[in-house]
Amino acid sequence: MRAAVCPVYGPPDVVRIEDQPSAAVAAGQVRVKVGAAAVNFPDVLLIANEYQISVPPPFVPGSEFAGVIVETGDGAGGFAVGNRITGTELYGAFAEEVVVPTAGLSRIPGGVDDRTAAAFGVAYRTAYHTLRSMARVQEGDEVIVQAQAEAWAWRQCSSACSSAPRSRQSRHRPKSSMWQRVTAPNTSSTTRQVTYDAR
């Protein structure tokens, strides 16, 4: 199989396309034909050896992917050949196929393409963890969303706010009416912005 390989630590341009042997599928694992793999900032940090965890080179970067299961091991946890799935690993996704434990996989809902599914996991969980666990945002709280990906950011903020436990008290009490549509500087795109009272 072909894979993007990081042979030595450095900037992203050290990565090379190489032929790699396919890994064997063990119990509790599946082989996935990768349809799409998302690029995240931690991938760049791993390649530069600047992440909090080091992966010795050579290694295949890439932390999240989407595709189709083409082989299963014993005890595949209900997953079968032909299932469309998405998953995350610390590394290994930038390849034509990955062999991964089923514990880190989710089925892709109908109507969701591979590119969208592959890019969802890491970004969503990071945003959710930040809003719920770190900021402890509750429904009705104000947040600032500064991104080109306005629609995604808005949906995730709404989701995290509505599911945050009401028992936790937040210092921030926004009003949903404070959300405004604004034009981002030097772009034709828009973002949603809210004032954030951190008192």
pLDDT digits 0-9 by tens, 109-143 = 999 999 989 988 777 777 788 888 888 888 888 77
Residues 109 and 48 in one domain: yes
Residues 139 and 93 in one domain: no
119, 145, 174 - which closes a domain: 119
* Average pLDDT rounded to a whole number, residues 60-76: 95
Residues 28 and 101 in one domain: yes
Indicate whether 198 belongs to any domain.
no
Which of 51-55, 137-141, 195-199 has maximum average pLDDT? Answer: 51-55
- Give me the number of domains the chain comprises: 2
SS3 for 113?
coil
- Which of residues 144 and 61 earns the better pLDDT score? 61
Q: What is the CATH number of the domain that holds 82?
A: 3.90.180.10
Residues 68 and 163 in one domain: no
Query: Which residue range is the domain that position 163 belongs to?
Result: 122-193
pTM of the model: 0.68
| Pairing state between β 105-107 and 190-193 | unpaired
Indicate whether 199 belongs to any domain.
no
119, 142, 173 - which closes a domain: 119
Q: Which residues of 100-139 are buried (b: 16+ CB within 10 A; e: fewer)?
A: bbbeebeebeeeeebeebbbbbbbeeebbeebbeebebbe
Res. 108: pLDDT tops 80: yes
Model pLDDT for residues 85-101, shown as the tens digit of each residue:
999 999 999 999 999 99
What whole-number distance in Å separates Cα of residue 146 and Cα of residue 118? 22
Residues 20 and 109 in one domain: yes
Indicate whether 110 belongs to any domain.
yes
